Chain A
Amino acid sequence: MIRAPRSILFRIVSLHVAALAAASLLIPLTVVTLLNATVTAYERDALHRHEAEIARAAKFEAGRWRLDLPADLQALYAHGYAGFAYAVLDDRGAVLFSSLPSGASIRQPDPWRPKPRFFRHERQGAVFHGGLFHERIAGRRLWIEVTQNLSDPDVVVDDIATAFLKRIGWLVLPILLALLALDFYIVRRALKPVLEASQQAGSLGPDTLSVRLSSEGMPSEIEPLVRAVNAALDRIEQGYMRQRAFTADVAHELRTPLSILRMRVEDLSDADAARPLLADIDAMTRVVGQLLEMAELETVVLDPDQRADLHALGEEVAAYMAPFALSQRKHVALTGTGAPVWVQGDKPRLFRALRNLIENAIAHTPVGGTVELVVMAPGEIRVLDEGPGVAPGERELMFRRRWRRDRSKGDGAGLGLSIVARIVEAHGGAVSVENRPEGGAAFTVSLIPAPEPSAAGVVEQGHADERGQGDQPDRA
């Protein structure tokens, strides 16, 4: 079933079309009906007048009927002026006089119905309209039939109604079209503020949360909606700002003491004692970082216009993680397509998702092993490790917050995967995990392919800062 378009313009105009169509049918029909009734009454009146003249001329003398028509009337009937004709019948229905060429009458009288009877009769392509009247003259019953041949060129009354209908019919169409155009214009004009508000709403994004819909010129039916939307935006913006301020505060409160702790530990003269402590601080730092990322992601709304090249991203993440991997005598490699693979996405956030996946893969890959990134068109990137793989029961839990293969490690790796899931989800993509036939796990991130951005967009997406991302694992 085809669903009707939901635009107000369409609805109003289509309802108007229906109403106008009904009206444009009903009005001519009513007019024509009334006109026909008038015409009929007029015709009957004419028939009656003729009958009265004839009745006056009919006389019964010396046992016979005579018809003394005045000369002018005789001439009229003889010429069949305006198609009029008469027939006079006696009590038994025998024709006494007739002006019709056949010398007969059209109808036979019905003795039991003395009231005038009107009829229409078609013969040889001609339409006759007639009346059969009952008269009592000199105590004798007489039937007088008066007919008019409506096909006679002198008869005009009957044509009026038909002609009227035809003209009205031609008038109705342009009027209907003009009203439609007017409708279109009126509705468009009335809806202009609504359209403008829709455009404003369309420009809302994570960076333009301060935009409010304008209620200027807004129809009063829609104004409450606009006000409600603006109020909701106020609350969202406040919540967003509060959340951002909160994460900033928490970050400061947690990271400053960690900085102090780290510097004190660096000062220890016993390097062997300091090393595990520094590793602890690094692990702690990572957990804090991931908690903050998680908190930040709760408020994330992505701009759907952003583009990222998965190949360039893969190169950057691989380059970024390689020193960390090499410090553990593990390798990172980038394979797959060498051409750009554009997807819808926020590059810094996708970077974080991939970094977390690679950190996880490095953690599970034995010394000497390789973590492989595979970029595939149209919008997929895979991270392959050489670890023990994932047990079937673990797969679903994997991306949930706080789940970790080995809870005794306490390095926040579980949070890492839930961050991955959250980022990918916010991009409208999917992340899955499976075991490789040759051993190890394969994480696949699928994103929404996008066309290559315009030249301006490329510059924006351009080269990541050489100094890299500041929170590079310090163990490297």
Chain B
Amino acid sequence: MRVLVVEDNNELAELLTRKLEAASFGVDHAATAEEAGDALRDTRYAAVVLDLGLPDRDGISLVREMRSAKDSTPVLVLTARSGVEDRVAGLEAGADDYLVKPFAFEELAARLRALLRRPGEVLGKVLETANVAFDTEARQVFVDGRPEVLSARELTLLEILMRRSGKVVPKRYVEDHLFGMGAEVGPNAVEVSVHRLRKRLEALKARLEIHTVRGVGYLLAEAAA
């Protein structure tokens, strides 16, 4: 899969190229918006990694140009500005995701993979956190590689949490997806389900921890050693 890296800083461009290649991407590099425009006309890329601070013109205008030319290649914007307005401007222009410098390369690679997966493959994939794997297609959970049996509700809850592993899933979201939109559920229904799943995971020796963020929701993460 070939990606275009648009970055005017040569050192950063080299590092990105080397690491992306190591992560089995094919990489082309453009140092200016003009070069990028040329490259985009000649080659069909799987994705574009675009730095907004280019010497010749604003990277956002390049995205806008691509979109108006019906080029839907996913664009991951790299920006030096953390101002929310700038982010919103990037996304409004048609960028698919953004990352603020400096970033961890793993984050960049993960976001890039996520962009390349979109949209079709969401269902047929295996979610993995710590020693737990969740085959969402077969609806099968593996702990340390051995298949385990969970109840339907446990499976649904675990999937909700594993899909957003490391992030807080709002309680309302859990409630809606576990019991259906607008379902009449008791005030503690979600807590009870989470409690059961915790017990179950503990019994299965899964190295997962479900944290309660009181008043907000739940967060699934690898259990601290």
Partners in one complex: yes
Per DSSP, chain B at the interface is: mixed
Question: Which one of B62-70, B94-102, B139-147 is at the A interface?
Answer: B94-102
Q: With A318-B213, A323-B219, A326-B211 in contact, is A474–B167 under 8 Å at CB?
A: no
Indicate whether A348 reaches chain B with its CB closer than 8 angstroms: yes
Is A263 in contact with B105, judged by CB distance below 8 angstroms?
yes
Interface pair A331/B102, CB less than 8 Å apart: no
B102: which of A285, A319, A467 is its contact (CB, 8 Å)? A285
* Cα A467 to Cα B103 with chains together (Å): 15
When the two chains form their complex, are residues A323 and B221 in contact, meaning their CB atoms are under 8 A apart? Answer: yes
Interchain nearest-CB distance for B27 vs A (Å): 14
Contact flag A323-B15 (CB < 8 Å), given A296-B83, A470-B87: no
B12 near A259: Cβ-Cβ < 8 Å: yes
Chain A residues within 8 Å of B170, by CB: 315, 319
Contact B224 A322 (CB under 8 A): no
Q: Using Cβ atoms and an 8 Å threshold, which residues of chain B touch A292?
A: 81-82
The answer for the CA separation of A121 and B106 in the assembled complex, in Å, is: 119
A465 is an interface residue with CB less than 8 A from chain B: yes
Q: Does B130 reach chain A (CB closer than 8 Å)?
A: no
Q: Does chain A have a CB within 8 A of B215? A: yes
Q: Give the docked Cα–Cα distance between A293 and B81 (Å).
A: 9
Asked whether A354 is an interface residue with its Cβ less than 8 Å from the other chain, the reply is: no
Within 8 Å of chain A (Cβ to Cβ): is B19?
Answer: yes
Could you say which residues of chain A place their CB within 8 Å of the CB of B168?
A: 318-320, 322-323
Whole-angstrom CA separation of A474 from B108 in the bound complex: 12
CA distance A315 to B169 in the complex (A): 11
- Are B100 and A471 in contact, CB atoms less than 8 angstroms apart? yes
B104 within 8 A of A: yes
Asked if B74 is at the interface (CB within 8 A of a chain A CB), the reply is: no
User: A264 touching B80 by the CB < 8 A rule?
Assistant: no
Q: Is A261 engaged at the interface, CB distance under 8 Å to the other chain?
A: yes
For this complex, into which size category does the number of interface residues on chain B fall?
Answer: 35 or more
> Which residues of chain B have C-beta atoms less than 8 A from A281's C-beta?
102
Contact between B213 and A259, CB atoms less than 8 A apart: no
Q: Identify which of A263, A264, A319, A469 contacts B84 (C-beta below 8 A).
A: A469
A278 (CB) vs chain B CBs: closest residue: B104
- Alpha-carbon distance A93/B224, docked complex (angstroms): 138
Which of A264, A322, A469 has the most chain B CB atoms inside 10 A of its CB? A322
**Chain A residues whose CB sits within 8 angstroms of the CB of B83 once the complex forms:** 296
Say yes or no for B37: interface residue by CB 8 A criterion.
no
List B contacts of A80 (CB < 8 A): none
Q: Which residue from B53, B98, B106, B166 sits with its C-beta under 8 Å from A470?
A: B98
| A258/B167 in contact, CB under 8 A | no
**Contact A319 B80, beta carbon cutoff 8 Å:** no
14 new A-B contacts at CB < 8 Å, known A260-B15, A296-B83, A319-B167 = A251-B81, A252-B81, A258-B101, A260-B12, A266-B105, A267-B19, A318-B213, A319-B168, A322-B216, A465-B91, A469-B82, A470-B98, A471-B100, A474-B103
Offer 12 A-B interface pairs, CB within 8 angstroms, sorted by A.
A252-B80, A254-B80, A255-B100, A256-B9, A256-B80, A259-B12, A292-B82, A319-B167, A333-B214, A351-B84, A465-B91, A467-B98
Binding site for B on A (CB under 8 A): 247-249, 251-252, 254-256, 258-264, 266-267, 281, 285, 289, 292-293, 296, 314-315, 318-320, 322-323, 326, 329, 331-335, 348-349, 351-352, 370, 373, 465, 467-471, 474, 476
